[in-house]
Structure 1
Amino acid sequence: MLTGQHLIAGHWSGGSETFDLIPASGPVRTFSVGTPTEVEQAARAAEAAFASFGYSNRAQRAAFLDRIADEIDALGDAITEIGCQETGLPKARLIGERGRTVGQLRMFARHIEAGDYLDRRHDAALPERQPMPRPDLRLMQRPLGPVAVFGASNFPLAFSVAGGDTASALAAGCPVIVKGHSAHPGTGELVAQAIDAARRALELHPGVFSFIQSGNRDAGQALVQHPLVKAVGFTGSLTGGRALFDLCAQRPEPIPFFGELGSVNPMFLMPTALVRRGGELAEGWVASLTMGAGQFCTNPGLAILIDSEEADAFIEAVTGALAEVGAQTMLTDGIAQAYREGVGHMQDSAGVQQRVGSPCDNRDATPYLFVTTGAAWLRDATLSQEVFGPLGLVVKVADFDEMLQVAAALEGQLTCTLQLDAGDINQARQLMPMLERKAGRVLANGFPTGVEVCDAMVHGGPYPASTNFGATSVGSMAIRRFLRPVCYQNLPVELLPADLQLFE
């Protein structure tokens, strides 16, 4: 049963101010608006919980993550039903995303049980060393403290209340305060109920997790500025993320803001691959570009290829395939409006030709395809900005040298893709040093809409893809965002953390 309220330190409560969510389907529901008052209560409870949860053992935290996964699965049908109503996403997508969500919770549980993430080090004392002796030095990663997490619009489960940011912060030993997203407040509440059920079952401090509904920006601003919050995890727009990042930097005590903000995920189609597999690549790009109405942070919105007959054939194939794709429901009215504005900017840009597209209104989105030249793209920096939705831009460069110029001019990306065959290796080798500097993930002969949850994954990149190029929001390395190294010099063994006492 939904309450429409906030979960603050084990108690559901709501204020007088509310907002109504008009879903893609189903009934209109009313939810409480988050305020600085709830933020204050949640932050103080989280700080109180850190005294125990921050020093809990790995087995206890792993059990908590596993139990959260179990509780989410137990509410699976209810979560899927309301998630489909609120977002318009199909049932299969929500079921798959729930599997990803509980899977990463369980993966983090196994990862912290192994203990490698602690990065334990020991330099034994050298009392006889000349000219000066060396003290006994031990190092281990320790949790930061309370962490704020912002739910994402496009992933109501995997990047929201119990998503990767929450899972990795809890795994590290950090209490979490989640600000839910106004696009799916009911889905968020059900997941919060599951986390609280797991907390109660294991008798953990109630401040270990709080959930604050959205409704306006006041709660979010108060959350990143609260002095007890020590880090922030965010997935969302460049504009909103940059505003919160600036607030974090302007605090009397600046804190890390781990924001995943946006990416056009350029795809370089190399000449030999285009000759041999142009039709196949066109079909794959269209499928990736329009998946989920293009509402993926790894949506490949930019295709770069050398002007040729094969390039023209590729564009014709993409044009035909996109013309068969109908309208899709977007996550919110605001996202749909932003998509229409992005389309309008492309239509008004000099040197850009529209090949596919039809007007769309309300929450519907139809695919668009635009074509431009390398010279026009290099002149207009706005053509490199993300349009969140099923919009593709093909950049026809004059030659390989101009392709290198385009690669060098790219902003930071989550992904860069090479479509290549054996005959393209030499040119691809020249591109690689640039692509490594631009993206957190470089892939070949695939499409980036699919982020595997595993040890080797990096989901992040140089700004504006993310605000911290050294971090990832997916994979086991995500835990490191919410840890800091502490060195212990000449401490008695009895005073060392338990995980460091037996380490040599």
Structure 2
Amino acid sequence: MIGKHLIAGNLVGNNETFANMPVDGNADHFAIGTAGHIDQAALAAEQAFASYAQISRTDRAGFLRSIADEIDKQGDRITELGTRETGLPAARLEGERGRTVGQIRLFADHIEKGDYLDRRHDPAMPDRQPAPRPDLRMMQRPIGPVAIFGASNFPLAFSTAGGDTASALAAGCPVIVKGHDAHPGTAEIVAEAILAAIKAHDLHPGVFSLVQGGSRDVGQALVRHPLIRAVGFTGSLAGGRALFDLCMNRPDPIPFFGELGSVNPMFLLPEAVKARGRDIAGGWAASLTMGAGQFCTNPGIAVVIEGADADAFTKAAKAALDQQAEQLMLTDGIAQAYRTGRDRIAATAGVQDLLTSACNKRNAAPDLFATTGKTWLTNQALGEEVFGPLGLVVQVADADEMREVAQELQGQLTATLHMNEGDLEMARGLLAVLERKAGRLLANAFPTGVEVCESMVHGGPYPASTNFGHTSVGTLAIRRFLRPVCYQDIPQALLPDDLK
């Protein structure tokens, strides 16, 4: 493709280009997207929907498996360019590619089973009194063309052929991806793989398009386009909220499925801290700094009851984090945003600086702060995400204040209880609060690392996500791009094959 957009099977260029930001070597240049490119892609997606929504689940599953196979064929190219663009190590990218193709194949298996259709049938009752009942059949149907925004921190699993794209294609919806500027070359290779699968299955080329770069106007044009029926997004709270508002303010509002931010708090209960506080501290340090802290499930806050055991935990966490070397962040902009967030926390009254790094450019090292439950409860900004390896220890006065901290949390992707047998009663009360705050609850584990499977929930109340009834990981993600349709007294010959 060499720096061009993929729009309905055509390679489309532009005289204006932007450059990626490789860790080393020369930059590559890519065509800048425009509102006109978006319109071309949307029109083609609507044309493709007419046929793609009607193909059998078996054929659609075969298409998905072909995408996964084609991505695997490009594995070496993806790893080579991906490491240059993102600074992520080769092993991380290879693992992420495995996750990406694994979830595509998972959706292929899922739609073949057919359970996601939620088919229901109430047979006609012509003799029922006082009025007969018609024949009623219901199942889930695809909603139409879907817009997906690539994520900065996952160039594969949450980008061009990531979970949003996989679930939308599985549902029967054409996809238009707005590529992320942090890794356009990686996106291009994956788009080539999808195009190869489209050709192999003789599908309408409008079933997938990739538009790269462009100003905010391009993203806005995508969200506002009247043929787009839903939007999937993973990114910052500010950017996601702006797109969410655009979706709501359209003449015909559409659903916006955004994953926006989370501090993923851990609650360390007394018996667990006393018995294994040092081990928990070491595990936290490893989870907090994994991938330079650039995970949406990064556990940024540890809540512990003040006392000698809490002090020992904090000291052990500081020692473990102090051993962590600098890591390269995904972009200069993300690194600068991390330093800005760190400085905001450091400048907050009542916050103690335990470990501060002096990194510049694209590097980051862990930072650790401590505060009291009282300070945390009176300063909502301390509960806002800082994207990177920053930890905050919140020492609360007692179990009641710990529960109050839990009650004041905003929506989270995850919440964790570190507990022993003697903590069960306290944990029971916290769990009742936390299940209203987070999409995934953990015991004695760390939230970084999201299993891609049937039962996973990667979402939560706002601002973790904009629609708490759905998930962006796991097979339930397909429900975002479906809607129920009831067929009343429709002749068998006209019914969708899955309802006959």
Q: TM-score, normalised by structure 2?
A: 0.99
User: Does the 8 A contact of 2:21 with 2:331 survive in 1?
Assistant: no
| Structure 2 Cα separation of the partners of residues 119 and 313 of structure 1 | 52
Distance in 2 of aligned mates of 1:153 and 1:432: 32
Give the corresponding residue for 1:294: 293
**Which residue is equivalent to 1:81?**
80
Q: Which residue of 2 aligns with 1:182?
A: 181
Asked if the contact 2:65/2:104 (under 8 Å) is kept, the reply is: yes
1:366 offset after TM fit, Å?
1.0
2:54 equivalent to 1:61: no
- The letter for the 2-side match of 1:293 is A
Q: Does 1:200 align with 2:195?
A: no
SS at 1:336's partner residue? helix
Say whether residues 1:389 and 2:382 are aligned partners: no
1:403 paired residue number: 402
* Aligned-residue offset at 1:124: 1.0
Cross-structure match for 1:279: 278
Q: Does 1:110 align with 2:116?
A: no
Contact 1:34 1:218 in 2 (8 A): no
CA drift at 1:26: 2.6
SS in 2 for 1:335: helix
Tell me the alpha carbon deviations over residues 12-58 of structure 1, each in whole angstroms, 9 at most, x when there is no partner.
11111111122122321111111101000000000000010011110
Q: What CA distance in whole angstroms lies between the structure 2 residues aligned with 1:211 and 1:330?
A: 25
CA deviations on 1:429-487 (whole Å, 9 max, x unpaired) are 00111101000001111000011000000000000000000010000000000000000
Q: Any conservation in 1 of the 2:21–2:182 contact (CA below 8 Å)?
A: no
Q: CA RMSD in A?
A: 0.7
| Letter aligned with residue 427 of structure 1 | M
Q: Is residue 143–residue 482 contact of structure 2 (8 Å, CA) maintained in 1? A: yes
**Residue type of the partner of 2:219?**
G
Aligned partner letter, 2:117: L
Residue matched to 1:125? 124
**SS of residue in 1 equivalent to 2:349:** coil
Q: Supply the distance in 2 between the matched residues of 1:311 and 1:327 (Cα, whole angstroms).
A: 27
Number of the residue aligned with 1:350: 349
Q: Which residue of 2 aligns with 1:14?
A: 13
Alpha-carbon deviations, 1:79-128, whole Å to 9, x = none? 00000000000000000000000000000000000000000000111122
8 Å CA contact 1:234–1:241 kept in 2: the answer is: yes
| Counterpart residue identity of residue 3, structure 1 | I
Q: Which amino acid in structure 1 is aligned with residue 465 of structure 2?
A: S
Q: Specify the alignment match of 1:267 in structure 2.
A: 266
Q: How does 1:489-500 map to 2 (within 5 A)?
A: 489-500=488-499
Shift of 1:229: 0.4
Gaps of 5+ in 2: none
Specify the alignment match of 1:219 in structure 2: 218
SS at match of 2:428: helix
What CA deviation, in whole Å up to 9, does each residue of 1:268-301 have, x standing for no partner? 0000100111111001000000000000000000
Rounded Cα–Cα distance in structure 2 between residues aligned with 1:265 and 1:22: 30
- 2:309 is aligned to 310
- Inter-partner Cα distance in structure 2 for 1:219 and 1:498: 38
What secondary structure is seen at the aligned counterpart in 2 of 1:139? strand
Aligned equivalent of 1:322: 321
Q: Counterparts of 2:213 and 2:374 in 1: how far apart (Å)?
A: 44
> CA separation in 1, counterparts of 2:262 and 2:357?
24
| Letter of the 1:51 counterpart | A
Corresponding letter in the other structure for 1:84: T
CA distance in 2, matches of 1:379, 1:359: 29
Runs ≥4 residues deviating over 4 A: none
Q: What SS does structure 2 have at the residue aligned with 1:437? A: coil
Mapped contact 1:279–1:317 kept (Cα < 8 A): yes
Q: 1:248 corresponds to which residue?
A: 247
Letter aligned with residue 358 of structure 2: P
What is the DSSP-based 3-state SS (H/G/I as helix, E as strand, rest coil) of the residue aligned with 1:122?
strand
Deviations 1:471-504 (A, max 9, x none): 1000000000000000011111111100000xxx
Q: Which whole-Å CA distance do the structure 2 matches of 1:500 and 1:449 have between them?
A: 41
Query: Using the alignment, how far apart are the partners of 2:13 and 2:243 within structure 1?
Result: 25
Query: Could you tell me which residue of structure 2 aligns to residue 141 of structure 1?
Result: 140
- Give the TM-score normalised by the residue count of structure 1: 0.99
List per-residue Cα deviations over 1:319-350 (Å, max 9, x = no partner).
11111111110001110010000010011000
Aligned length, in residue pairs: 500
Render the CA deviation track for 1:381-430: whole Å, top value 9, x for unaligned: 00000000000000000000000110000000000000011100100100
Task: Please tell me the residue identity of whatever aligns with 2:457.
Answer: V
Other-structure match for 1:438: 437
Tell me, yes or no, if the aligned pair for 1:263 and 1:414 is still in contact at 8 Å. Answer: yes
Distance, in Å, in 1 between the alignment partners of 2:373 and 2:259 is 28
Deviation string, structure 1 residues 177-226 (Cα, Å, up to 9, x no partner): 00000000000000000000110111100100000002421211100000
Aligned-partner residue type, residue 455 of structure 1? E
Which residue of structure 2 lines up, in the alignment, with residue 366 of structure 1? 365
Query: For 1:171, what is the secondary structure of its paired residue?
Result: helix
Match of 2:35 in 1: 36
